[in-house]
Amino acid sequence: MLYGKKSQEEYKIDNQDRLRRMDIFICAKKPLDVYLESSKIEENIVLELKAPYVDIDRNIFRQIEDYMDLIKNQPQFNSTSREWKFYAISNRIDNFIKDKYKENEDKGFPFLVKKVDNCKIFIMTWDDVFKNFEHKYRYLYERLNFEKNEIEEELENKEKLTREDINNLTDKILQKEVVNI
């Protein structure tokens, strides 16, 4: 209705590939710049999750390219405020994909195999996903683990904690965080 369309028929995508099913589709709006809150970008993520025994090869890559082509050819999905990221994930990748990594290393994104306009295709193994997460959130994990150890140590030294003990422990942890920043 916002675009003057009167029926659902006007919204239909006239392409046979529209009937293909993506495993997971995620959409989120995020500020592009913290100072320009009005400028938002919509990040769209399509995930294709393959069984562990399936190698990601040329055929899987073509499947993801088909999803990308379908999106790129629909004017309602191609605002400059939209970003599309397509991921294929399994346990193994073949040499075709490894060659695609090399072709795209100059673009500055790990696991990138293709970039066109506002669309990027990434191919990863599950090990890549978990290692990437571990590296990205290592500081947070170490910080939480440190606080956990300190709390356990404090608890071992007290039979019963008073409200004052808890407040002191909280202040101690918060003070260390301020010093570390």
Residue-wise burial string across 29-65, b where 16 or more C-beta atoms lie within 10 A, e elsewhere = eeeeeeeeeeeebeebbbbbebeeeeebbeebbebbb
Residues whose CB falls within 8 Å of the CB of residue 79, separated by 6 or more in sequence, listed in order: 42
Instruction: Dump pLDDT digits (tens) for 31-41.
Output: 555 455 555 67
Sorted by where each begins, the domain ranges of the chain are: 8-125, 137-180
Residues whose CB falls within 8 Å of the CB of residue 167, separated by 6 or more in sequence, listed in order: none
The residue-averaged pLDDT of 20-29 equals 62
Q: Which pair of tokens denotes residue 79? A: 């605002």
Residues whose CB falls within 8 Å of the CB of residue 141, separated by 6 or more in sequence, listed in order: 134
Query: For residue 1, what pLDDT is reported?
Result: 41
Instruction: Dump pLDDT digits (tens) for 118-150.
Output: 899 999 999 999 888 888 888 777 776 666 666
Query: In whole angstroms, what is the distance from residue 18 CA to residue 44 CA?
Result: 17
How would you classify the pairing of strands 40-49 and 24-31? antiparallel
**pTM: predicted TM-score of the whole model, two decimal places:** 0.64
SS3 50: coil
